[in-house]
Amino acid sequence: MSTQTSTNGGKVQNRTHYLYLAVIVAVAAGIAVGIAFPDFAVELKPLGTGFVALIRMMIQPVIFCTIVIGVGSVASAARVGKVGGLALVYFVTMSTFALAIGMVVGNLLHAGSNLELTKELAGAGQEQAKEGHGSTTDFLLGIIPDSMLSALTSGEVLQTLLVALLVGFALQQMGRGAEPILRGIGHIQKVVFRVLAMIMWAAPVGAFGAMAAVVGATGVDALKSLAVLMVGFYITCALFVFLVLGTLLKVASGVNVFSLLKYLGREFLLIVSTSSSESALPRLIAKMEHAGVDKPTVGVVVPTGYSFNLDGTAIYLTMASLFIAQALGDPLSIGEQISLLVFMMIASKGAAGVTGAGMATLAGGLSSHRPELVDGVGLIVGIDRFMSEARAVTNFAGNAIATVLIGHWTGGLDRAQLDRVLAGDDPFDETTMLDDHEPATPASPSLDKQPQPA
């Protein structure tokens, strides 16, 4: 398909450009309607909920096809194991950094001082706590689906990841006999991405409904009352992405973080408008492959990162816990902070950027460690939707950077292709979300041959 070249791609690029301009206009219109007609705006929430549901409907097919093709096409399971092992070590390290940064900033801000907890807000905190319970054992057992087929319909990303890895390794062992199956899954992947491209045209409607509902429900006063915490959280997330992750990316691979995030600009807009990083997960997979990261790396790192590499959520949990303790006049000791936050880092796995998941985890963690603080969760209910956007954006940026870094470290990154893409010389095909000038299922010999590290 020649529509993605610079000479013949004018119509395609312009059409998708207008789509995302429409999203920006829709967000602004949603804010205006929420302020002017709050009661009516709240009734528009199903528009945003419906759009996110359409996107989430596509996540498991995208992950399954990507991982099966990526893992099944390489000759050695050691390659996948190397990527997965390095990814988990990286995720734990970065989550620790995020927790530490959130703890430092939270202790410096003292944003929770002089706040009053009403009975209504206390009730809201208890309601969130009911959704936040769950042990580590429950989490681990929850990764195992009821059946192989249910892993594609359960809505649980980690269940899909497990089954896709098993199928991919099985196809590895079949050798050349697996090629017809891989080709078939490759065609299914093309159909899935085509459907996803069609769904994206509903993005302006979803963005309008989501923004109108949240502004109508919370109002401008909700932003003013807790501005210190919210602004502090936004700044902390920005510092973590640009200073910590950006410096690591530049030093380790030579890639400029601003160029990478600019390439993913439309995905960030989608996340801000829906407050869910899941809405951009399928596009991140497609864009990372287009940018030169090989399929096995993308297939393992991106889905796993969405459950284990939640840097924004880690920062949120630390700052929100300290804020609540300060607001209730019962500050946490350093030992209590470390114990509580380690627990929350484990409990948050699987909360893949869905609106409200961070608050439920916060309430559940406080309920387990300091039950007397659970009522304080109600203090941040009014601004959680806006903090959720920063969480989702930070989680997404962290996973994009992780994919490039791990691809670079394991020899799965085509640096020349990445440079072309980031320079704008090889634009992403927005109509299909696939590179149609390449086969959907790369031939086994080319995948068996690992590229050298840049």
Q: Above 50 in pLDDT, residue 316? A: yes
Q: Above 90 in pLDDT, residue 246? A: yes
Mean pLDDT lowest among 199-213, 272-286, 345-359, 373-387: 345-359
Q: Is 413 helix (H, G, I), strand (E, B) or coil?
A: strand
Please report whether residue 213 resides in a domain. Answer: yes
As a whole-number percent, the residues of the chain with pLDDT over 70 amount to 70
Could you tell me the maximum CA-CA distance found in the chain, to the nearest angstrom?
A: 69
156-212 confidence digits (pLDDT tens): 767 887 888 888 888 878 877 878 888 888 888 788 878 877 887 887 888 788 778
Q: Above 70 in pLDDT, residue 431? A: no
Please report whether residue 300 resides in a domain. Answer: yes
pLDDT at 73: 64
Average pLDDT over residues 33-58: 80
Residue reference for tokens 């985890």: 361
With cut-offs at 50, 70 and 90, classify the pLDDT of residue 126. Answer: very low
Q: What is the DSSP letter of 243?
A: I
CB 408 within 8 A of CB 253: yes
| CA–CA distances in Å: residue 101 to residues 206, 317, 353 | 34, 11, 20
Q: Above 60 in pLDDT, residue 308? A: yes
More confident of the two residues 229 and 17: 229
pLDDT at 242: 93
With cut-offs at 50, 70 and 90, classify the pLDDT of residue 259. Answer: very high
CATH number reported for the structural domain that contains residue 367 in this entry: 1.10.3860.10
Q: Above 90 in pLDDT, residue 404? A: yes
Please report whether residue 453 resides in a domain. Answer: no
More confident of the two residues 154 and 121: 154
Q: Above 90 in pLDDT, residue 248? A: yes
Determine the Cα–Cα distance for residues 171 and 379; give it in Å rounded to an integer.
51
Average pLDDT over residues 312-316: 83
Torsion of CA 42, 388, 304, 242, to 10 degrees: 140
The reported pTM is 0.66
Rank 22-31, 124-133, 250-259 by mean pLDDT and report only the highest: 250-259
Please report whether residue 183 resides in a domain. Answer: yes
pLDDT at 247: 93
Please report whether residue 28 resides in a domain. Answer: yes
pLDDT at 22: 80
Average pLDDT over residues 140-148: 80
Which residues constitute the domain of residue 46? 7-443
pLDDT at 159: 81
Rank 31-40, 54-63, 392-401, 431-440 by mean pLDDT and report only the highest: 392-401
Average pLDDT over residues 314-341: 77
Question: What residue type is 122 in one-letter code?
Answer: A
Please report whether residue 304 resides in a domain. Answer: yes
Rank 29-43, 367-381, 397-411 by mean pLDDT and report only the highest: 397-411
b (16+ CB within 10 A) / e for 97-121: bbbebbbebbbebebbeebebeeeb
Residue reference for tokens 């791990």: 406
Determine the Cα–Cα distance for residues 99 and 269; give it in Å rounded to an integer.
26
Residue reference for tokens 């896709």: 164
Q: Above 50 in pLDDT, residue 286? A: yes
b (16+ CB within 10 A) / e for 431-440: bbbbbeeeeb
Please report whether residue 452 resides in a domain. Answer: no
pLDDT at 168: 82
Please report whether residue 451 resides in a domain. Answer: no
Rounded to the nearest 10 degrees, the angle between the axes of helix 281-290 and helix 45-72 is 40
Domain count, the chain: 1
